[in-house]
Chain A
Amino acid sequence: MAIQFILVLNRQGRSRLVKWFNNSYKPVEKNRLISDIHRLISSRDSKHQSNFIEYQQHKLVYRRYAGLFFIASINLGDNELSYLESLHFLVEILDVYFNEVCELDLVFNFYKLYAILDEIYLGGEIQEISKQKILNRLAEIDKLD
């Protein structure tokens, strides 16, 4: 499993998306982890610092888009650059799907956000890499609802 979890946090540390692929975290641990990670990442300067931090036995790859931090935790041996690109891929999909995505879209449509995530990642691995296929798929599923 490459990705342990994916988080989307806003600048105040509020979670907008929490997805755990690694099932070994306990509930209490999860909340502590999130606030820890927020503290760590929000204090970093995005211009002059890299987008990677070693955290416990894993590596955090993150990127800020406006007021939101998109964060993925990966294994130490994994390719950081590739997962950074993958987070960007996720954001691009969101941007097209929500037509210029903003934080409120994610707040009110969090269940859609999860559905999108499930089309891109599965069990902590990257599943689909064609934007068009994912967007078509999402449109079809929305019709079924």
Chain B
Amino acid sequence: MASLKSFIKAVRKAKTIADERSVVRKESASIRTSFRDPNLDQTTRRINISKLLYLYIMGEKTHFGQVECLKLLSSPRFADKRLGYLATMLLLDENQEVLTLLTNSLDNDMQHPNSFIVGLALCCLGNIASPELARDLYSNVDKIITTNNLYLKKKACLVAAKLIEKDPDLAEIFLPKVAQLIEDKHHSTLLGVTRLIQIIYEVDLESRPTLVKLIPKLIAHLKRIATSGYMPDYDVLGISDPFLQVSILKTLRMLAVDSACSSANLEQLNDVLTQVTSNIESSNTDAGSSSSGKNAGHSILYECVKTIFAIQSDQSLKILGVNLLGKFLSTKDNNIRYVALDALLTVISIEPMAVQRHRATIVGCLLDGDISIRRRALELTFAILNEQNIRLLVREVLLFLEACTDNDLKPYITSQLVIASNKYAPNDKWHFDTLIRMLKVSGNYVTMDILSNILALIMQCKDMELRKHVVGKVLSLSLENQQQQYQTTENGSFGLSLVTIWCLGEYGELIMGGNIEVNGKSVAVTEKLILKLIEDLLNNSNFTDSETVSLVTYILTTVLKLSVKFQDERSIEQLRLILSSKSYDNNIEIQIRAIEYQEIFASNEKLKKGLLAKMPAPPMKEREALSLHPKSAKKQQVSLSGSGSGSGSTTTTDDLLLDLMDDGPVPENSAAAADNNNYKPDSIANRNANILDLFDNPSQSNTSTSNPIIESSSSIPAFSSSLISVSFSPKSFKAGQAVVEAYIVAKSPGTHITQFQLLIAVPKSQKLSITSTSGDYLDASNSTIKQVLKIVGKEGAKIKLRVKVKYVANNETIEDTFDFAGFENTL
């Protein structure tokens, strides 16, 4: 059999992908065959496994070699063991069942007299430990951790941390060791200990007071390292051991935010932070130019800044922190600027004024060459926006939007712009001008939700002159847009067209007969001009299918409304023709509407005038600012209100209905609104009323669909109050997915409960969706609310739920929170 070297050469020699595949397949087959030989000698096995590793790096299938790896590592020869462990760490992971076969070898090797072999076993355990291995082998690690062999000690610390990660119960085993380990002055041991402290602190609440007591020790170590001067072993371009300094700082930050941390400790920490930062600042200026050399120093400064703003630090220290970030921002190094922007995002909630001072730099970063930096800067710009700076910042954001080529980002920007200008607009005229300009530069990336918000704003505008200005402005921009399209192949602006069409239908009479400016020329607004625009938009093929449907439905309503505004018989006839041409449309929504409108069109003037009167202004919805940043993304939490919104899987019509029936705040879901094809140009309030009429007697319509559910015998009681009880019934648990039904039952049948909401949170590693619900009230006709929960997560993980129930009983809003982890099965 050929050597590893010749195999690698053969793979490299392959000219085509097909050639390479055949080499790989042949070798893989011959390795498989050789593994079937019961008398395979270790040398051949070693060669084959090394080839298998090469295949592994190439991304080939290697699972058939798993048992062979275990055979190799049980050999007494060091070379065999070494490769065996190496291969085991790569080809196996904690999810493999063969892992149980490894327990004995690891146990033996961790007691081996040769420290190299102990090292291999430790390393292997640290990489692929499963909860079972952790429980079986922790005592070995516990022994090694007290050894005098530094090489093994540092490994044992990290392995112990890993075992605790796998089985949190082990924290109490290793906690007593920490006090002694922290006395060690060796850098690598300390690095391991800090990790050990972090993980114990994370998983074991009871250990926290003990760990907080270690703060003075950690501070002493940090001080020693930071002020030690040159340390040849740990020097990184003039900085002493940045890795350990960063790790100690991180640990200190964790411990110092604990409530048990005394003010004396905090004071000490404040001192050492000042010392560390000034130390690096001075050495940075000494070291001078090379940017790679500064990286190590900056990594420590960055960690210091994070700590300054996480703990209760002095005002002077906070100023120092903000100044440091200011310095970071002004460097040319993109990495440093990136972390500075990242840090400012967290600082803004603590020191908003200090961040404002860097406004110019932040805005400058909007033009950076790096998309990561631009995104950060954009988010920060929205975060620092307020009444004072809105004119300035919005101008920059609009410029950014105009130049932006990242279409995924645009809906975020437009939504944020609308939210910010709703909140801080200095006056109505500015507000409308901003929105119109946004529609102009990015009209294709505005969600339906935002568009209806803009329309509502126009309706609410009391100032007739301003309204006239708005209508005239959107019309002139739309006309300019149409003209441009003849010259370029650019897409039409959907948002702008839609708003224009709606404005013409609603307020067309305000500008008819007057003049507007189009491309610098004054143009008279005539019935002909409006008809031309409508025709052009109807013939525009640049819109997507769903956009066309929404736009055409809006156009039909406008056509109908214009029929009472136009004077010229010929123009009115043309309007009629548009309606009749659409009565043969392929889309049922458009067709139905066209035919219905034709009926209205033909009815008498008086009726028409009444039907087509102006819409009343709808109430405005409060909007919450969105976040781009995954860090600040909201917890996986699905709120159910009304008859169960929030689940993305519901169909369009459902969404629409839910939205309408909703009486509480709906979780902001801008995407859902975008596919509302059948959005009607009628006022939102009107629609609300109409559709609510349909459901006038909700109890009737609901009881017909939801039969009273008989609680299944397998359900587990989870919570009970004087009014209701909640129980969970596991339906299926398999392959990382669980389906659970929740039953909510009223304690006494007479209780009348309404607006019931069940809010559930799961650990970050899992995902929860609530698929259906049988209602939001409990009374005599509906004795049980049933909801189906689906939880997806890592296989084998335990399901833990934090549940909040909210409901109205006897005109009183009641809230209860409880945790539930009573499922026997795991994911």
Contact = CB atoms under 8 A, between A and B. Distances in A.
B158 A85 contact: no
Given A76-B631, A85-B295, A86-B243, A127 B338 contact: no
B109 interface: no
Given A15-B59, A127-B158, A80 B187 contact: no
A20 B93 contact: yes
A99 interface: no
A113 B128 CA distance: 19
Contacts of B36: none
B469 interface: no
Interface residues of A, number: 58
B93 A23 contact: yes
B646 interface: no
B151 A122 contact: no
Interface SS of chain B = helix
Contact of B154 (A50, A53, A88, A127): A127
Contacts of A21: 127
Q: Which of A21, A82, A126, A130 is most buried by chain B, counting CB atoms within 10 A of its CB?
A: A82
A90 interface: no
Contacts of B232: 132
A66 interface: no
Contacts of A16: 57
B372 interface: yes
B233 A84 contact: no
Interface string B186-214: 01100110010000000000000000000
Contacts of A51: 334-335
Interface in A65-107: 76-77, 79-82, 84-86, 88-89, 107
Interface residues of B, number: 73
A12 B795 CA distance: 35
A1 B372 contact: no
Contact of A82 (B116, B165, B242): B242
- Please classify the interface of chain A as helix (H, G, I), strand (E, B), loop, or mixed, using the class held by over half of its residues: mixed
Given A31-B59, A126-B243, A77 B372 contact: no
B56 A18 contact: yes
A88 B292 contact: yes
Interface string B423-460: 00000000000000000000000000000000000000
A110 B54 contact: yes
B233 A132 contact: yes
Interface in B46-103: 50, 53-54, 56-59, 61, 78-79, 82-83, 86, 89-90, 93-95
A118 B89 CA distance: 10
A36 interface: no
Contacts of B234: 129-130
Contacts of A126: 191, 243, 247
Contacts of A107: 8, 12
Contacts of A19: 90
Contact of B78 (A14, A84, A144): A144
B8 A81 contact: no
Given A52-B335, A54-B630, A85-B236, A114 B86 contact: yes
A141 to B, nearest CB: 6
Interface in A109-141: 110-111, 114-115, 118, 122-123, 125-133, 137, 140-141
A125 B156 CA distance: 12
Interface string B785-812: 0000000001000000000000000000
B370 A81 contact: no
Nearest to B163: A123
Contact of A49 (B78, B89, B158, B372): B372
Contacts of B94: 23
Contact of B295 (A17, A34, A84): A84
Contacts of A80: 335, 338-339
Nearest to B245: A82
Contacts of A82: 242-243, 246, 299, 303
A115 B90 CA distance: 12
Interface in B1-16: 5, 8, 12
22 contacts: A20-B93, A23-B93, A31-B59, A48-B370, A50-B338, A52-B338, A76-B631, A79-B302, A79-B303, A81-B339, A85-B236, A108-B8, A123-B159, A125-B158, A125-B161, A126-B243, A126-B247, A127-B154, A128-B154, A131-B233, A137-B151, A145-B82
4 A-B pairs with the lowest CB-CB distances in the bound complex, closest first: A81-B299, A123-B126, A23-B93, A50-B334
